[in-house]
Chain A
Amino acid sequence: MPEVVIRTSGLTKVYQETKVPVKALGGVDLEIREGEFTAVVGPSGSGKSTLLHIIGGLDYPTQGQVEVGGHHLNELNDRELIDFRLEHIGFVFQAFNLIPVLTAKENVEFIMLLQKLPAKEREARAVQLLQEVGLGDRMHNRPSELSGGQQQRVAVARALASRPQFILADEPTANLDSKAAANLLNMMAEMNQREKATFIFSTHDQRVIEKARRVITLEDGVIVSDVTKA
């Protein structure tokens, strides 16, 4: 059985942005094993994105512990978290993932530049990944010249470029039509197999839920069900 690579215990997040505190997570205990293809589902405001942000080292929990790939994220400072994200996490956001002034290939290369990989290696991997996501002929196009589905595929290629242990996707199909969403999900499932990365999605898209092998349901910041498909 694959080892546990993500572990949260008593994870609580309270937003204090207005006078009334808002509890986004209310004590989440969770274990995710290496190579899982997991969907975190729930209605809007259930805490899906917050959970992903904390697992991805983008936010700190108010209470509780989070351990990702052996790193205790509560103990890392801002700079260490940036390094952690660069080396271990690939993010795919809902939209506007890409740097608009760079081409598809440059966007994919960019993350490897941050990792200080040699130019030849960067270029070869960017070309390979873009071909794998079916955009071999659009690699010199800027995001504004690509459709929403194509942009999300570039975002997946970029997320994979740094060879991360984890891919966190926050509602990746929210702005896509059915066909583009299906293409993206098939491609991500394939990548999950090929790149051996652990995928976690937040979504309330039924198509994503059907593809996932494990579905965790959140409501009002707590896990109400956790189903692993046979």
Chain B
Amino acid sequence: MYLLLAWRNIWRNRRRTLITLASVAFAVFFSCMMQSMHTAAWGNLIDNAVRFYTGYIQVHQQGYWNDKTLDNSFENQPALQKKIAGSPHIVTVVPRLESFALASGTDRTKGTLVIGIEPEKEDGLTNLRNKMRGGSYLKTGEKKVLLAEGLAHFLKLSPKDTLVLISQGYHGSNAAGKYEIAGIVKFPSPQLNDQVVYLPLAEAQWLYDTGNRITSLSLLVDDPEQVEAITESLQQELNATQFEVMSWQEMMPELVQSFEIDRLGGEIILFILYAVIGFGIFGTFLMMTAERRYEMGVMIAIGMSRLKLQAVMFLEIIMLALGGTLLGVLLSLPVIFYLHYNPIPVTGNLAELYQNYGMEPVIPFSRKATIFLRQAYIVAIITSVLGIYPIWFIQRLIPVTALRN
């Protein structure tokens, strides 16, 4: 009967209850939409950023990240790659040898970033083949290079032209090579577009006289949310004195910062929204208690304990909160699911910008369960905090005073 009493109590003022439910539902709906968009957009952006170059996790020789020289490279052991590839959640292991060189064309020279890659594996991580803007993609074992478009333009080189690289190799040896340009790749990042040269890994190892050494293993994972755990587990598995295992968050702190700033902005908007809704709910609670002061006085007078009365009132609060939250989630579910499978297309210059960064020109939506659960617990916390007032009101109610009123 207590449940029945609470249920009927919330419907004694139908209009007010509907308004309260609608306001909670609206807040939940709006928050779910915002969170869904934010999660998906950043998920895409992060995935794009890590696939762009670093991968989700990298394994280096201990000390390499702080001092990126060939002297801090390590032996490319198939056993090590196999061990890492066999770890849970690891999808791809991509070896690289990175260094710098002076690149010369017909009459110009420029400092460049030289990356030795296994062409097929690299394509699996960074979709390098899709960035081709001329010529053909690299093949393992050939003595050719891929040149970034900006660099090719500066050096006035095209596919089939010759590029000369001069640098310092492993342990101070001389490094020089002459390569045919297989193709041109375009990067949206001007920094990369003006300085990258790709070589097949074996050719880069020959150029820098490193033997079978590499500077990094970049890893792709199947669940980006597990990166921290995977990094930790790999660090424990590998010899910690020889290797450093770094997550994308450690390698790209500026991206983490941007994400946090954007997330904070969103949280502030949600906080304002929930504060407005919270005041609305509090108004309802004030009315619920004020208009039933006499009735509560009667109930305590006839022998109802304060605890039971408080429990009935709390049930009413829970029903309102739960009802509003459920309504909000039920409203947002079909919309989010629809937008997840049919994302909002972006057009014009913005679409071009998205494509330049290798991203689909759409506003994506995530349908992760945590998005909906989070709203439920936020509303639960707000209503529980606001629900202290009616509980306090009943605790302080003097029946004889209530009856006199």
- Segment 225-271 of B: residues with Cβ below 8 Å from A: none
Q: For B303, give its contact among A93, A100, A114 (CB under 8 Å).
A: A114
Q: For A99, give its contact among B295, B306, B308 (CB under 8 Å).
A: B295
Q: Is A183 an interface residue (CB 8 A)?
A: no
Residue among B12, B294, B295, B306 having the largest count of chain A Cβ atoms under 10 Å: B295
- Determine the interface band of chain A, counting residues with CB < 8 A from chain B: 20 to 34
**Do residues A109 and B1 form an inter-chain contact, with CB atoms below 8 A?**
yes
**Do residues A158 and B302 form an inter-chain contact, with CB atoms below 8 A?**
yes
Segment at the interface with B among A32-40, A82-90, A205-213? A82-90
A97, B299: Cα distance in complex, Å: 9
**Do residues A93 and B298 form an inter-chain contact, with CB atoms below 8 A?**
yes
A115, B306: Cα distance in complex, Å: 14
**Do residues A101 and B8 form an inter-chain contact, with CB atoms below 8 A?**
yes
Q: Is B400 an interface residue (CB 8 A)?
A: yes
Q: Is A110 an interface residue (CB 8 A)?
A: yes
**Do residues A100 and B400 form an inter-chain contact, with CB atoms below 8 A?**
no
**Do residues A111 and B302 form an inter-chain contact, with CB atoms below 8 A?**
yes
**Do residues B301 and A58 form an inter-chain contact, with CB atoms below 8 A?**
yes
A109, B5: Cα distance in complex, Å: 12
B259 to chain A, nearest CB (A): 50
B114 to chain A, nearest CB (A): 80
**Do residues A85 and B295 form an inter-chain contact, with CB atoms below 8 A?**
no
A110, B298: Cα distance in complex, Å: 12
**Do residues A162 and B399 form an inter-chain contact, with CB atoms below 8 A?**
no
A114, B1: Cα distance in complex, Å: 10
> With a CB–CB cut-off of 8 A, which chain B residues contact A113?
1
A59, B403: Cα distance in complex, Å: 11
Q: For A82, give its contact among B1, B298, B300 (CB under 8 Å).
A: B300
**Do residues A101 and B5 form an inter-chain contact, with CB atoms below 8 A?**
yes
Q: Is B305 an interface residue (CB 8 A)?
A: yes
> With a CB–CB cut-off of 8 A, which chain A residues contact B298?
91, 93, 96-97, 99
- Segment 122-172 of A: residues with Cβ below 8 Å from B: 158-159, 162
> With a CB–CB cut-off of 8 A, which chain A residues contact B19?
none
A11 to chain B, nearest CB (A): 15
Q: A93-B298, A100-B12 are in contact. Are A82 and B304 (CB under 8 A)?
A: yes
**Do residues A99 and B303 form an inter-chain contact, with CB atoms below 8 A?**
no
> With a CB–CB cut-off of 8 A, which chain B residues contact A5?
none
- Segment 262-314 of B: residues with Cβ below 8 Å from A: 294-295, 298-306, 308
Q: For A106, give its contact among B1, B294, B305, B306 (CB under 8 Å).
A: B1
Q: Is A204 an interface residue (CB 8 A)?
A: no
A210 to chain B, nearest CB (A): 27
B225 to chain A, nearest CB (A): 47
A17 to chain B, nearest CB (A): 9
A53, B399: Cα distance in complex, Å: 10
Q: For B12, give its contact among A53, A78, A101 (CB under 8 Å).
A: A101
B88 to chain A, nearest CB (A): 55
Q: Is B9 an interface residue (CB 8 A)?
A: yes
The chain B residue with its CB closest to the CB of A110 is: B1
The chain B residue with its CB closest to the CB of A102 is: B5
Q: Is A19 an interface residue (CB 8 A)?
A: no
> With a CB–CB cut-off of 8 A, which chain B residues contact A96?
294-295, 298
**Do residues B5 and A58 form an inter-chain contact, with CB atoms below 8 A?**
no
Q: For A85, give its contact among B5, B12, B302 (CB under 8 Å).
A: B302
29 of the cross-chain contacts (CB-CB < 8 Å) are A58-B301, A58-B399, A58-B403, A78-B306, A82-B304, A82-B306, A83-B303, A83-B305, A85-B301, A85-B302, A86-B302, A87-B303, A93-B298, A93-B403, A99-B5, A99-B298, A100-B295, A101-B8, A101-B9, A102-B1, A102-B8, A106-B4, A109-B1, A111-B302, A114-B302, A114-B304, A114-B305, A115-B303, A159-B302
Residues of B within 8 A of A (CB): 1, 4-5, 8-9, 12, 294-295, 298-306, 308, 399-400, 403
Residues of A within 8 A of B (CB): 53, 56, 58-59, 78-79, 82-83, 85-87, 89-91, 93, 96-97, 99-102, 106, 109-111, 113-115, 158-159, 162
Closest 6 A-B residue pairs measured CB to CB? A86-B303, A101-B8, A59-B400, A85-B303, A58-B400, A53-B400
User: Given contacts A86-B303, A109-B1, could you give 15 more A-B pairs where the C-beta distance is less than 8 Å?
Assistant: A58-B399, A59-B400, A82-B300, A82-B303, A82-B304, A82-B305, A87-B303, A93-B403, A96-B294, A101-B5, A101-B9, A113-B1, A114-B302, A114-B303, A158-B302
